[in-house]
Amino acid sequence: MNFLLTGGLGYIGSHTAAVLQQAGHHVVLLDNLSNSRLEVADRIGRITGTRPVTEVGDVLDTIRVRMALRHYRIDAVVHFAGLKAVGESVAQPLAYYHNNVAGTVSLLQAMAAEGVRSLVFSSSATVYGQPQYLPLDESHPTSATNPYGRTKLHIEQMLHDLAASDATWRIAILRYFNPVGAHASGLLGEDPNGIPNNLMPYIARVAAGQLPHLNVWGNDYPTPDGTGIRDYLHVMDLAEGHRAALEHLQRTTTPCDVFNLGTGRGTSVLEMVRTFEQATGQSVPYRIAPRRPGDVAECWADPTKAQRVLGWRAERSLHDMCASTWAFTAGQRSAPAPHILAV
């Protein structure tokens, strides 16, 4: 089948593109390069044997999206494109509403106009807000504590409204927990600009000697070792979750449905540090620092709906998440400059 991946050069999109191509599908990537590099398409090509067709463009450009949907005879869209930094969303809310919410409206208008009504949307466990019980299942109440989370909630509501207005839509909303790790080739991974906000890329930079130590944001939470607990899942498992969701859309009669993608297991910050050290042989010095404002103590998924309905389950271990992250980070440090790789 033919799939359009908006934001397909980004962290999760690139891994999903590789998985879909290796399953025999055709993928077209549409990305405005705001948080990615064109060279990622070359790398997907090195992994799969086919460089995916890549359109440098913006989802806000409705005409451009329509032309891509028509030209490449797209059957379904996976909508990754968006801004995702919580702190930045507080400082620049309009940029987030414009890019994420208006960008999705533009995409949906293009899809409706071209008669493409199958969509997988990247949502987030952040829409659960402060957990009222654990594990989090899909019927847990939703709320948002920052503009980024609110954009995801607005988009989810918009997708439900759209499906209610026209039952021929087939929409899967995927609520990701904490994606980490990298492709086994070491060619794809997460490479944030500047100082990372998230735990795993920060640990990798410390292990690489690029940052002096990890700040552990709080060790006084009501958890066994006092540090925050999250449900980390391997990005390749997540990529396979998108394949399962796309296949599900072909057979379902439900216009719009929501799925958690997580492992169902919680890991503390200190457990993650220890596992990274064991998996890589690198040391990760850390210091205990005050809690980060807005953080929840613990958060993990009930992934049983995805298993039951999509036939998907996260399989890869925490050890693999750490080892693959390190292989990618170490490879980035020794890699030639991107323009040389791209030749």
**Residue 98-137 contact track with ligand NAD, rule CB under 6 A, x = bound:** -x---x------------------x-x-------------
What is the rounded distance in angstroms from the CA atom of residue 13 to the CA atom of residue 100?
16
Indicate whether 31 belongs to the interface with ligand NAD (CB under 6 A).
yes
Indicate whether 11 belongs to the interface with ligand NAD (CB under 6 A).
yes
Q: Which stretch binds ligand NAD (CB under 6 A): 34-42, 69-77, 127-135, 138-146?
A: 34-42
| CB of 155 closer than 8 Å to CB of 79 | no
From 52, 179, 255, 266, residue interacting with ligand NAD (rule: CB under 6 A): 179
Residue type, 39: E
Q: Which stretch binds ligand NAD (CB under 6 A): 42-50, 78-86, 222-230, 330-338?
A: 78-86
CB of 167 to ligand NAD, least distance (A): 26
Compute the CA torsion angle 100, 106, 108, 114 (nearest 10 deg). Answer: -150
Closest-CA residue to 175 (of 145, 144, 140, 138): 138
DSSP structure class, residue 298: B
Q: Which stretch binds ligand NAD (CB under 6 A): 10-18, 127-135, 162-170, 240-248?
A: 10-18
Which are the contacts of 92, defined by CB distance < 8 A and separation ≥ 6? none
Closest-CA residue to 217 (of 280, 153, 291, 142): 291
Distance, C-alpha 332 to centroid of its chain: 20
Which are the contacts of 221, defined by CB distance < 8 A and separation ≥ 6? 227, 228, 229, 291, 297, 298
Binders of ligand UDP among residues 271 to 300 (CB under 6 A) are 292, 295
CB of 97 to ligand UDP, least distance (A): 20
| CB of 283 closer than 8 Å to CB of 277 | yes
With CB cut-offs between 5 and 8 Å by kind, which of ligand UDP, ligand NAD, none does residue 13 bind?
Answer: ligand NAD
What is the rounded distance in angstroms from the CA atom of residue 338 to the CA atom of residue 343?
9
Catalytic annotation present for 148: yes
Q: Which residue lies nearer to ligand NAD by CB, 6 or 329?
A: 6
With CB cut-offs between 5 and 8 Å by kind, which of ligand UDP, ligand NAD, none does residue 99 bind?
Answer: ligand NAD
Indicate whether 176 belongs to the interface with ligand NAD (CB under 6 A).
yes
What is the rounded distance in angstroms from the CA atom of residue 269 to the CA atom of residue 281?
18
Binders of ligand UDP among residues 195 to 254 (CB under 6 A) are 197-199, 202, 214-217, 228, 230
Residues engaged in binding ligand NAD (CB under 6 A) = 6-7, 9-13, 30-36, 58-60, 80-82, 84, 99, 103, 122, 124, 176, 179
